[in-house]
Each structure stands twice: as structure tokens, then as C-alpha cells.
Chains A and B, each alone.
Chain A
């Protein structure tokens, strides 16, 4: 009842004020930000009450109050709030990197690579094959030359296999889960994030040979190589700087947390290196080259400052979901999504068996790999820019698939964490402190 009243009051408040306002110098952005924190958080609570992840609630709030729903948040406001999404992704990446401890990685990296490699390979082959076989039934592929269908298939598979560090980290924060499944899932997602950038580059280069391009996106190997190597270098320098700050200053951490991530993201953009990888590296270096109390204090400050940003980030993602396109493409989407889930399940199972991972990991890690979000969306945008003839349609298909996976994936991962008992007895969901605690676990992955 309380939640319904909040939504009613906040919605009525915004609707009442709307005719009195102006649209100058980003005036809608702050209003939309404040509105989304309250509205999305409340819908997140409702989702949590029905045993769904709060993230699903945030996404739903975006759909409900966004441009396709009640229009409390306009397209203009969404554009003005783009920096919030950028900051959220940077924070998520830094937090993800700070969850990786070198001593644990050293023991587990072989096992993680086996799981990730098998899962990605099976997913890519499965999805590519299905799309190729079903090309006659997909409107924008019907009647196209075989070379173009192959190009589309390659590109589609390279994006459809991408996971979501954002959803993974956010769910681990929300549930405060710790244990082997949480740790292995996070490890696979982060490693895969690096690998898919390489795979996508290869797919783009191959697709260019099959289909002529008129777009300007630069996808040369040198460029992509620099994106990855450069990200590691920039991230390491940034992480070292943060570690030095923590060692010699360690004050105003709340401000510093936001400034450091913003700075990292901006430097990465200016240096044309991969933003996510830069921040993951920075987080990793900070965590492993700082004293534990210092790095923990920074992580706490970062999680505290990130909490409202995350809520708005996922609500904005929800607001951008084109519900109409999802509905139109549903007959194609459902089989593709099912094949993807099946491939992830099979690949993870085989990989975990190969890595001699415990039974719980064989059974549950796949559920954390279904979700997709920011990275996949970014790659879909590059395709649309590079291949004008079919890129737009492929982007719509991918975005619809991502929307489906983003929602279903979050639900599945939460179920997995609950089923394995890695969520504390009083997880608290949206109302508890958001400390990601996977590093606390001492159980290494066998491999």
C-alpha cells in the first residue's frame, strides 16, 4: 500500500508540475533523475516483494514511466541523462574489477577459461546456425544474397553471446551473495567481456568481406588491438594512481569514488580505449595494490555513491526498450532466446565438467550468464553504423533480444544464487547495504 501511495504521489507531483516548466539548459534532467530514483526504487521494491530481482523492477519502471509508457520521462530527458548511464557503467566496471583478487585468480583462471571458452563457442555456433537456417522466416533477411546472410549471421552471433557485467554486479550487490557460483559467474562474465570484443572485431572484419559497407566505423585489428592493450595500460596507470591516493591521502572518499570513475571513463574515451576494460583493470589494480582496509573503504564509498546511479541506470535502460519492436519480433525472438539459453546451459555444463568444477557450479553458473545489457547494446549500435543495408534491422532484432535476456537473465541469476544458498539468510534485497562480498569466499574453483 505504501509503495502504491509513493508511486501515486510522485507521479501526480510530476504531472502537476509539468505544464509549469521550461525545457532550458537540461532542466528536465534533474527532475527526471529525482523522479526515477523514487519511482524505480519503489517498483524495484514491488518486484522484490514478488521474489523477482529489483533490477527487473527498475527496468519495468523505465518502461512504465518512459516515452513508450506514461511519458513522465521524455525522450529529451533521456538524452540529457546519458552521462548518468556512462557513470553507472564506469562504476559497475570498477566495482567488478575490484572484486577480482590476484591470489584467487591465479588459482582459478584455467577453470574460468575452460568454462568461458566452451560456453562462448557453443553459443556462437548454436545461435549462428539457427539464424542462418531461419533466415527465410526473418523479414529483413528474406531474399537476401547468401553472402549477406552469412555476414549477418556472424555479426548476430558475436553480439548475442555477450553477457552483462552490469546486471551481474548489480545483482551481487543487491543480494550480497557470496560463494563459488557468484564468484565463478562474475569471473566468466568479466573474462568473456574481454574476449567478446576480440570476437566482435573478427566478426566485423569477416562480415566486411561478405557484405559491402558504407559506414565509417573503424574496426581494424590495429584499432581494436589498441582498444584492448591501451585499456589495460590506461587502467593500470589509473589504478596505480588511485592506490597511491588511498595510501597517502585516503580522504573525501565519497567524492573521490565518483571522480575517479568519471576520470577513468573520460580518459578512456579520449585515448580511444575500451572503457569497461579500463575501469575493470583500474579496479583490479586498486584492489590488489592497496591495503585491504583502504580498498574496502573505497569500495564502500563507491557502492554508496553508486546506489542511486544504478537505480536510474537500469530505469533508463528500461525506458529505452522499444516494446512495440519486441512484440513484433516475438515469433523469431523466442526460438533464438531459447537456443541461446540452451547453448549457455550446455556450454557451461561441459566447460565446468572439463574444469572439474563442483556440482553446484555445473548446475547453476549458466543461469548467471543469460543476461545482456550495455556492452551488447553498444556493439549493436556499431553494426547499424557500419552496415547501412541491413544494420538497422539487425540492430532492432538484437535490441529486442537483449531486452528479453536482460529481464529473464536477472530473474534466473537471482534464482541461482538463492538455490545455491549463497544469498545470506537476510539478503534484504533493495533495502540492505549493497556490499558485494564474493571475494570473502575461500573456496577456489577446481581446475
Chain B
């Protein structure tokens, strides 16, 4: 069957299924849609039915890269500086500590597991461990968004713990993207042409420069226009150029696109229109990304089951422990409660994007193990991520009420 027809049928089928079944369940029972697309991709992929061959998955590499880049731009667009400045420094401190602690804990433990349990050589195990650390740091943004909508209806959208969860999720994303891109710069293979291979620092500069230049081009291209069509073309061109350049240079499009998003949202009068355009396209792209993520899945050859399950458990433990420790170190335990980290346990779109991006790079070590671990984690946690958030907020409000009653 034609590869493009498969893509179309996948999207149509997936969308219909999501809309008819999962869409209703998501709204009614606070369940995040996404896992079903992953499952659909796995079922249609080369490992199960074979309707989508490995070649087809590879041939859609540029499209997947664009979807990943678009996700990066959406994350970058969250960083509107005037809004960020209104948040207290303590909130950032807690969020940053939580992200770094999670990343280092998971990376360290997974390194030990890969070396001692699986038997991978220390040199080979380093990159996948760091990537798994970065992936573990991410938090499901869809789950939080769904919970926020529900909590707003319940009059609980202003709870301090919810604000902390939102900031922590954003910080998790940035930290994960930075770690991932840094690792790619450090382990970048030499370019094929007969030139001096750039140093890791130079690769890092190139990564940032791609985003900055694409952002500048957007402004030059748009000029003083406010027309929505032209704005969309400029936006699509900037993200496509940055994603294409990153793919061509064997870098990740996440950081350049995130820089574009941040530049545009902070330097443009059409902030609302940009955010709308970004979000409008993100969802369909994400659905397709999930399907291809499922199709791209291959069982690892490295006695995978145990390390994969351990990754899921370690991540959940690291999230809870890091969040608690971060709150304690920032003196916010009384505000956030001991278990506020439960709200960060949902694993979602960014994790898939990083894992898929890592798998697409031909020089990656243990790509299937990293990818399988991510898929399992997302599959198990994303569905209920909104419930995690809602429960934490409800619990925190209950504790606050009880504290107030006791004081009175």
C-alpha cells in the first residue's frame, strides 16, 4: 500500500477513534488522549501487522522532524518574559531543583543498571543514560492543561500548588531539551565533507544560531504586516527552515525551534495570533507524531524488559523524591505539601519527541531501549496525568482548609 495513503488512513482512523471514543472519555473521566495513537502505530508498524514498513517510517523522517520542531516552538512560546517576571523566584528555584535532581538521579541509576545489569560497556551506556535522564525529567503538558481546565470550572485554578506544577512542567521541558541538545553536541559525528569537524562548543553555537537566525528571518520576512495568512507562512517557514537545518546537520530541532518560539512571543506584537497558529497546528502534528512513534517502535535487543520497567519505576520515584527535596530546600514544603511531585508523574508528548528524535539519529546508542522505555512510561502515566494533577491540587486545598480551621 502507498506510504502516503497509509499516513492519511492512519490520521483519519486515529482521529475518528479519538474523537468518537477517547475524546468523550477524556472529557468525562479526565483521561488524556494519546496512548491510543501510540497503540495504533504499534499495531500498524513493522513489528505487528507490517502495514507500515521501516522504510515508510524512515521516509517520513522530515515530517516527524517538523512535528518535533513545531513542538519545540510551542514550548518556547510559553516563555513570555513579562509573564515569567510576575512569578516569584522561589517557584523557579523549586522547579529547577526538581528538574535537575530528577535528571541526575534517573541518569545515574540507569547508567548503573545498563552497565551492571544489562552488561553494556560504560562508554556506550553513558549517552542513553543521560537521554533517559532528560526524558524522565519531562512532564505531560496535556495532562496539566486538561486538569487546569477542569480545576478552573471547580474554582481551584488559582491554587499555589497548581502554579508550581505549571512552572515545574515548563522548567522540566527546558532542562530536558537543553540536556538532549547538549549531549548531541558532545557526541556529534564528524561531518562527511572534508572540513575540520566543529568542536562541541561550535555545535552548540550552531544550534543556537539556527534558532536565532530563523527568528530574525521571521521578522524580516513579516515586516510590518499583521495579515494572519502571511503570519502563518512566516511562522511555518521559520520553523521548517530551522527544523530542516537541524535535521540536515544531525542536530535536534527542539532547541532551535524553542528559541524561535521564545523570540517570536517576546518580540512580536501579534503574540496572540502566533500562539493561536502554533497551537492550531500542534495537535494534528502531535497525533501523527504519536502514530509514527508507535510504528517506529522496535523491541530492544538488550534484554530490555527489566531495564524498561525499572526506568518507569525509577522515574516515578525520582519525580516524587526530587519534588519533595526541592520543596524542602526552597522552604516551600508547607505550601506544596509532601507529595506535590505526584502531579509531575505524567509523561507525555515531549518525552516521545525526544525519544523519537534520538532514534532518528543514525549514530545513537541503544535507541530502541530508550524508545521502548519512553513509550512504556508514556503509555502507563500520560492517560492518568490529569488526574494526578487534580488530586494533588484537591489535597493541597484540603490541607490548607484544615490548617486554617486548626489555626482558627
Is A251 part of the contact surface with B, judged by Cβ < 8 Å? yes
- B360→A25 contact, CB < 8 A: yes
Of B114-122, B277-285, B324-332, the stretch lying at the interface with chain A is: B277-285
A19 touches B248 (CB 8 A): no
**Residues on B with beta carbons closer than 8 Å to the beta carbon of A37:** 233, 236-237, 240-241
Give the distance in Å from the alpha carbon of A340 to the alpha carbon of B2 in the complex: 39
**Are B220 and A6 in contact (CB-based, < 8 A)?**
yes
Q: Which listed segment binds B: A97-105, A190-198, A286-294, A428-436?
A: A428-436
Q: Which of B58, B195, B229, B281 contacts A307 (CB 8 A)?
A: B229
Chain A contact residues, majority secondary structure:
helix
Instruction: State whether B233 touches A311 (Cβ < 8 A).
Output: yes
Q: Do A433 and B228 touch (CB < 8 A)?
A: yes
Most buried by B among A9, A41, A259, A428: A259
Find B240's partner among A30, A80, A303, A428 (CB 8 Å cutoff).
A30
Per the bound structure, the CA–CA distance linking A259 and B9 in Å amounts to: 9
B280 CB, min distance to chain A CBs, angstroms: 6
Contact of B241 among A31, A249, A262 (CB under 8 A): A31
Which DSSP category, helix, strand, loop or mixed, fits chain B's interface? Answer: helix
| Cβ contact of B217, chosen from A6, A17, A263, A269, cutoff 8 A | A6
**Candidates B220, B233, B239, B360; contact of A2 at CB < 8 Å:** B220
B247 near A27 with CB under 8 A, answer yes
Tell me if A425 counts as interface (CB < 8 A to partner B). Answer: no
Taken together as a complex, chains A and B put the C-alpha atoms of A41 and B236 apart, in Å, by 12
For the complex, is A308 an interface residue (Cβ under 8 Å from B)?
Answer: yes
Q: Which of B4, B206, B217 contacts A38 (CB 8 A)?
A: B217
Complex Cα gap A364–B243 (Å)? 45
A residues within 8 A CB of B216? 9
Question: A434 and B229: CB pair below 8 A?
Answer: yes
A269-B62 in contact given A20-B191, A22-B248, A31-B247 (Cβ < 8 Å)? no
Q: Which of A30, A249, A308 contacts B65 (CB 8 A)?
A: A30
CB within 8 Å of A: which B202-244 residues: 206, 210, 213, 216-217, 220-221, 223, 225, 227-230, 232-233, 236-244
The answer to whether B245 and A31 touch across the interface, beta carbons within 8 angstroms, is yes
Residues of B within 8 A of A354 (CB): none
- In A19-76, the 8 Å CB interface with B consists of 19-22, 24-35, 37-38, 41-42
A255 touches B244 (CB 8 A): no
Which of A411-431 touch B at CB < 8 Å? 428, 430-431
Query: Which of chain B's residues has its CB closest to A7's CB?
Result: B220
Q: Please name 14 pairs of A and B residues whose Cβ atoms are closer than 8 Å in the assembled complex, sorted by A.
A: A10-B241, A21-B248, A22-B191, A26-B59, A27-B244, A30-B65, A31-B245, A31-B247, A37-B233, A255-B15, A307-B232, A307-B233, A431-B227, A433-B229
Known: A20-B249, A433-B227. 15 other contacts (CB 8 A): A10-B217, A13-B213, A13-B217, A13-B245, A17-B249, A19-B193, A21-B249, A21-B250, A22-B248, A29-B244, A37-B237, A83-B4, A255-B15, A263-B12, A270-B2
Q: Which 5 A-B pairs have the closest CB atoms?
A: A34-B241, A30-B244, A31-B244, A34-B240, A255-B284
